Amino acid sequence: MIRFILLQNRQGKTRLAKYYISLEESEKHKVEYEVHRLVVNRDPKFTNFVEFRNHKVIYRRYAGLFFSLCVDITDNELAYLESIHLFVEILDHFFSNVCELDLVFNFHKVYLILDEFILAGELQETSKKAIIERMGELEKQE
Partner 1 sequence: MALSGMRGLSVFISDIRNCQNKEQERLRVDKELGNVRTRFKNEKGLTPYEKKKYVWKMLYIYMLGYDVDFGHMEAVSLLSAPKYPEKQVGYIVTSCLLNENHDFLRIAINAVRNDIIGRNETFQCLALTLAGNIGGREFAESLAPDVQKLLISSSCRPLVRKKAALCLLRLYRKNPDVVNVDGWSDRMAQLLDERDMGVLTSSMSLLVSLVSNNHEAYWSCVPKCVKILERLARNQDVPQEYTYYGIPSPWLQVKTMRALQYFPTVEDPNTRRSLFEVLQRILMGTDVVKNVNKNNASHAVLFEALALVMHLDAEKEMMSQCVALLGKFIAVREPNIRYLGLENMTRMLMVAEVQDIIKRHQAQIITSLKDPDISIRRRALDLLYGMCDVSNAKDIVEELLQYLTTADFAMREELSLKAAILAEKFAPDLSWYVDVILQLIDKAGDFVSDDIWFRVVHFVTNNEDLQPYAALKAREYLDKPAIHETMVKVSAYLLGEYSHLLARRPGCSPKEIFNIIHEKLPTVSISTIAILLSTYAKILMHTQPPDRDLQSQIWAVFSKYESCIDAEIQQRAVEYHALSMKGAALMDILAEMPKFPERQSPLIKKAEDSEADTAEQSAIKLRAQQQNSNALVVTDQRPTNGAQPAGQLGLVKVPILSNADQSAAEIVSHANGALTVVDPQPPSTPSPDLLGDLLGPLAIEGPTGAAPASVASGLEGGVDADALAIAPIEEQANAVQPIGDIAERFHALCLKDSGVLYEDPYIQIGLKAEWGGHRGRVVLFLGNKITSPLNSVQALILPPSHLKMELSLVPETIPPRAQVQCPLEVMNLQPSRDIAVLDFSYKFGTQLVNVKLRLPAVLNKFLQPISVSAEEFFPQWRSLSGPPLKLQEVVRGVRPMPLAEMANLFNSLNLIVCPGLDPNPNNLVASTTFYSESTRAMLCLIRTETDPADRTQLRMTVASGDPTLTYELKEFVKEQLVNIPVPSRPPLAMPSHIQPTSPPPSAISDPGALLAGLL
* Interface with partner 1 in residues 85-114 (CB under 8 A): 85-86, 101-102, 104-108, 111-112
Interacting residues of 16 by C-beta distance below 8 A, sequence separation 6+:
5, 6, 7, 103, 107, 110, 111, 114
Minimal distance in Å, beta carbon 120 to partner 1?
Answer: 4
- The count of other CB atoms within 10 Å of the CB of residue 99 is 14
Please compute, for residue 33, the number of CA atoms within 13 A of its CA located in the half-sphere on the CB side: 6
Nearer to partner 1, 46 or 64 (CB): 46
**Smallest separation, CB 89 to partner 1 (Å):** 9
Site for partner 1 in 9-68 (CB under 8 A): 13-25, 27, 29, 31-32, 42-43, 45-51, 53-55
- 14 vs 61 by CB, closer to partner 1: 14
Integer-rounded Cα radius of gyration of the chain: 15
Answer yes or no whether residue 141 interacts with partner 1 by CB under 8 A: yes
